[in-house]
Structure 1
Amino acid sequence: MKEFSNEAAKQRIITLAILGALLFTIIGFILGWIWMEVRYPMLREPAFRNFTVSYNTIMDKYLNGAKSEELINGASQGMLASLGDPYSRYLIKEQGSAYTQGYEGEFSGVGITLQEADGKFIVASITEGAPAERGGVHAGDEIVGVNGISIKGKAYNDIITILRGDVGTKVKLTLHRGGEAKPVEVELTREAIAVHTVSSEMLSGGIGHVTISKFGEKTDDEFKTEVEKLQKEGMTKLLLDLRSNPGGLLQSTIQIANMLVPKDKAILEVVYKNNSKTITYRSKQDKPWTIPIVVLVNGQSASASEVLTAALKESAGATVVGEKTFGKGIVQTFQQFKDKSVLSLTEAQWKTPGGTWIHKQGVTPDVKVALPAYANLSQLPFGTELKTGSYGENVKTLQLMLQELGYTPVGDTGLFDERTADALSRFQKDEKLADTGKFNDMTGYRILELLSDKLKEEDTQLHKGIEILNSK
């Protein structure tokens, strides 16, 4: 009897242990699932089941096979695209790296500015002292291969991404050079290439003309350097050129505002989702700025350039000249992941010191001045080929460009006829281009260069800014 009792007790203990373990497993599973749903709320969404089934079906049954990483990255891109916000996006690996490098004070590369023309990738210019210059690359060279692989049919941005890479890594270029029977091959080692976003020149009458192309990591340092140089040269008035500046980093913009806006005056106010947080930035100016300022803007001045324009106009008494700005009054933050991919997301909106929301409205100049009409002519798309018999808006644009450069008659508006071909042929001969009487990328580039030179002489906005400063 005693022996039976011990055996029964033993069985009960084993049974209880199994039940206890099973209970703990169930509780652990439930808690784990709850934790997963808290940490990853998308698991609660019915549509997530569709995503999971779709993913598994593709991986198991897709005829051509699929890579898990590419599917997930594609889903991330689609998720951001579904917001309908062009400023919120997911950039994969090298695209993300190129995005962040665009704001840094330097990037890793070989020092080549590339130009796409007629399906070819031409070296437009070379950074002085950079690996490309030391390695024997010439302006005008055509890049036909990278690391032994033809780049025919590749997209422009893809080539830029390939040319960049980690400092110290090598890249081999195959070049086609005019006058050389065989391709030229060079191997270059990537280096840190400085990015300059500020330039300056001294104009007559003590006017310092400072141009900011965008707001990067070191733009405020560059601005301070250029201003100090101009002051040593006798600058008594500042002409700040923000035309076609697409914006950039808010921090460097605020640092420049700290130099030009009186101490404690408002620069901007940033308001986050559902008014959960509001940040007001005020000037921390160390030394009073006493030099009169005129700011030049146009319809492509956007984001951070609008921040600075509005702050100078409303808090520093600057005169704004030109055209209404683009109207980007929202703020993106971005985070970069371990694989260099980037999530850029719109998280806030901002208003001017006077409390104005400028999104889709822009900053209105104090003195409205338009550029000559030809300045608004759009660049003809890469790969555009126009010849006798062509017609449409692209032909009309080409005719207006030729007319501005003095090549007339150009024929009936919008129709590429014999007169258009003759005008274009005369232009090509004068500029020592292939005389085909047909429009191609190389011809287009040269037309734009000459129109740009012409605009420098006929820059009505710049001239008005100088006139206003000279009256102060």
Structure 2
Amino acid sequence: MNSATPTPSKARFGKYIGIYLAIILFVCAFGLGVLAGQAYYVRKQIQNENGQIEISKVINLNRTLNKSDEVNFYQFWEIWDKIKQKYVNTNVKDVDLFYGAIEGMVYALGDPYSVYMVPKTADEFAKDLSGEFEGIGAEIGIKGGQLTVVAPLTDSPAEKAGLRAGDKILSIDKASTFGMDVNTAVSQIRGKAGTEVVLVITRNGAGKAFEVKITREKINVPSVNFSWQGDKVAYIRVLQFNEDTETDFDRYVSRLAKEGAKGIVLDLRNNPGGFLDTAVSMSSEWIENGVIVSEKSENGYGKDHPVVGGHRLVGYKTVVLVNGGSASASEIVAGALQDHGKAIVLGEKTFGKGSVQDFETFEDGSALKLTVAEWYTPNGRNINKDGIRPDIEFKEDWENEKIGEDKMLEKALELLTAKQWPPEKDKIVTTTTAEKAP
């Protein structure tokens, strides 16, 4: 079970941990002599009259408040002391109060994708990105203020139980999700393989809310699937932009020219996202120069992510499949290929998860995931606000498709083998009927 993937860069996530620890070790080694000389002076500054270390003095040591500061940190420590002295349960640990205070501070931002993670949660998040975890195999996020299924992973317990992209989760094992953040929801849905979780959900067109019972399993997320379709059309399904995606994708791309591919279907449906670097390198296989995606924030910060090496798929007729479960890194790829005129985007409007998170780990194993900007396509579209609208809208027919049937894929193959290329855009292909609850 994942939270809607925040598209961290591997440079920020994978390499950061090693660099951070290296810096810590270097600073510790270099600073031992200096610290030895200053230790007595600092200790006297932060001790109270009884010789005990006061946390408030540690925090405020050498800190100068500027005129804009309206926060009295001594009130925080006053409340801390009152809890320690008067709270009925004397078993409360300092570390729990400490973590709780930080979690509350980040929660106050009102951003579902900015999260402070205690060490255990941070470790689980890292496992999610590696592609192995135990749970139901679904990506969740916040949409319209409600806990929402971004996408069930292919062949996961969630998909087998009938969970769909866009489902709103009202409760988890009878606990209401009202006001619940993503990480709390993930921790409640996640569990040991073989155990069961009961979700109450609502679905567009389904009428009343209904229960979905799901048995948890060990989830091994495949990165990329490949097959030949029709008359030498390469079908590449990218399920997640995790640690293995770039290697797997590269292996399949190397086959296309050798085996005479006449077209490509890039399937990003129900792909919740992942690493930014992988999205940029994948897009660069079709795009020769220019920008893949840009980061922008209200404080004036901006950064372009340009094309990198590759370009092996330039000139191939390509159709990209998307739906409401395509999010984050998936939207970056679809938006870049669409804006550069390298592919036709077919399907439904994407999820609209276009915020940029920095991910930092700390000495104790905890981590902070903080939104610092929003994604914009090469033509300046705000992914977080608008999502990616397809060139040709095709609404999936969940109820009437037979097992193993994929009408959207069939439509993509039809477009690639038609005499006219590129096909007429801004068309709507409707095959849906009113959806009913399973």
Distance in structure 2 (CA, Å) of the matches to 1:287 and 1:222: 15
Q: Is the 8 A contact 1:202 1:209 kept in 2?
A: yes
In 2 relative to 1, CA 42–329 (structure 1 residues): closer, same or farther, beyond 3 Å? farther
Distance in structure 1 (CA, Å) of the matches to 2:235 and 2:113: 31
- What residue is the counterpart of 1:73 in the other structure? 99
Distance in structure 2 (CA, Å) of the matches to 1:279 and 1:321: 26
Moved more, 289-298 or 353-362: 353-362
**Amino acid corresponding to residue 360 of structure 2 in structure 1:** Q
Q: 1:361 Cα shift? A: 1.0
- What residue is the counterpart of 1:141 in the other structure? none
Q: Is the 8 A contact 1:371 1:461 kept in 2?
A: yes
Q: Is the 8 A contact 1:271 1:349 kept in 2?
A: yes
Q: 1:223 Cα shift? A: 1.0
- What residue is the counterpart of 1:454 in the other structure? 402
Structure 1 segments unaligned to the other structure (5+ residues): 1-23, 117-124, 127-151, 164-172, 175-192, 376-403, 405-450
- What residue is the counterpart of 1:467 in the other structure? 414
Among 191, 202, 223, the residue aligned to 1:197: 223
In 2 relative to 1, CA 28–52 (structure 1 residues): closer, same or farther, beyond 3 Å? closer
In 2 relative to 1, CA 50–42 (structure 1 residues): closer, same or farther, beyond 3 Å? farther
Among 118, 130, 139, the residue aligned to 1:92: 118
**Corresponding pairs, count:** 308
Q: Give the structure, 1 or 2, with the largest relative contact order (CA under 8 Å, sep 6 or more).
A: 2
Distance in structure 2 (CA, Å) of the matches to 1:86 and 1:339: 23
- What residue is the counterpart of 1:335 in the other structure? 360
- What residue is the counterpart of 1:345 in the other structure? 370
Q: 1:230 Cα shift? A: 5.0
Q: What TM-score results when the alignment is normalised by the length of structure 1?
A: 0.57
Q: Is the 8 A contact 1:272 1:348 kept in 2?
A: yes
Q: How does 1:26-45 map to 2 (within 5 A)?
A: 36-38=62-64, 45=70
- What residue is the counterpart of 2:316 in the other structure? 291
Distance in structure 2 (CA, Å) of the matches to 1:49 and 1:75: 14
- What residue is the counterpart of 2:82 in the other structure? 57
In 2 relative to 1, CA 159–319 (structure 1 residues): closer, same or farther, beyond 3 Å? closer
Q: 1:250 Cα shift? A: 0.5
Q: 1:48 Cα shift? A: 2.3
Q: Secondary structure at the match of 2:266?
A: strand
Distance in structure 2 (CA, Å) of the matches to 1:247 and 1:156: 17
In 2 relative to 1, CA 229–317 (structure 1 residues): closer, same or farther, beyond 3 Å? closer
Q: Secondary structure at the match of 1:275?
A: coil
Q: Is the 8 A contact 1:267 1:283 kept in 2?
A: no
Correspondence 1:252 to 2:200: no
Q: How does 1:38-437 map to 2 (within 5 A)?
A: 38=64, 45-65=70-90, 66-104=92-130, 107=132, 157=187, 160=190, 195-229=221-255, 231-262=257-288, 264-287=289-312, 289-372=314-397, 375=398
User: Considering only aligned residues, what root-mean-square deviation do their CA atoms show, in Å?
Assistant: 4.0
Q: Secondary structure at the match of 1:60?
A: helix
**Amino acid corresponding to residue 245 of structure 1 in structure 2:** N
Q: 1:35 Cα shift? A: 5.4
In 2 relative to 1, CA 85–278 (structure 1 residues): closer, same or farther, beyond 3 Å? same
Q: Secondary structure at the match of 2:331?
A: helix
Distance in structure 1 (CA, Å) of the matches to 2:281 and 2:308: 9
**Amino acid corresponding to residue 79 of structure 2 in structure 1:** S
State the identity as a percent.
Answer: 32
Q: Which has the larger radius of gyration?
A: 1
